[in-house]
Chain A
Amino acid sequence: AQSVTQPDIHITVSEGASLELRCNYSYGATPYLFWYVQSPGQGLQLLLKYFSGDTLVQGIKGFEAEFKRSQSSFNLRKPSVHWSDAAEYFCAVGALNNNDMRFGAGTRLTVKP
């Protein structure tokens, strides 16, 4: 079965600084990759997804992620972080042969003024 690792439990960045959240996946075939954001007390909102094609995908709120098959990674980036980006971020991987989507443990982002 597929699995996801998010190595960073908590990241703090200053407002206006760039951001990169790491995600590594494990799956033998073509993965379907997602980044979700969860604001405090809220549900999960999809930021972006990768199914196929261009390995650099653009999402909402100015986020982008790059799929690197050789590194089994799908890191999330944003050039300039806003205070409202403070939230929990989850990377997830799906597989075509089942409906089971696996989530990483999440990375909590704190934004300093």
Chain B
Amino acid sequence: DTAVSQTPKYLVTQMGNDKSIKCEQNLGHDTMYWYKQDSKKFLKIMFSYNNKELIINETVPNRFSPKSPDKAHLNLHINSLELGDSAVYFCASSRTMDGSSYNEQFFGPGTRLTVL
């Protein structure tokens, strides 16, 4: 009955490789997010998707691409991995903000990516 799940939990890979992290939510939410937490624990939003539409894209390298096959899934693809990509990546989901109410985000357990 996990609300937001991510796979894998740990990912160790070599520089230059391409990898994907999967995220699934069973909360019926229609907005999903990816956050990056660096080694100093700083959390920064990378993307959010609402009904398959990208609505936030911070200054993230285009090596990172979110892919949403349906509104319950938002996968993160990373091409040509670099050392600086090592971090913990969190997926989150929420109901869509409708202009009159704010909806809290629910977070997955995180994926620790280590690039060697």
* Chain A residues within 8 Å of B, Cβ to Cβ: 32, 34, 36, 38, 42-46, 49, 51, 88, 90, 94-103, 105-106, 108
Contacts and interface: CB of A to CB of B under 8 A. Distances in A.
Q: For this complex, into which size category does the number of interface residues on chain B fall?
A: 20 to 34
Nearest to A103: B43
Output the residue of B104, B106, B108 with the most chain A CB within 10 A: B104
B94 A99 contact: yes
Nearest to A99: B48
B16 interface: no
Contacts of A102: 45
A105 B40 CA distance: 8
Contacts of B33: 99
Contacts of B42: 103, 105-106
Contacts of B108: 43
B90 A43 contact: yes
B99 A96 contact: yes
B102 A94 contact: yes
A105 B41 contact: yes
A47 to B, nearest CB: 12
B109 A42 contact: yes
B90 A101 contact: no
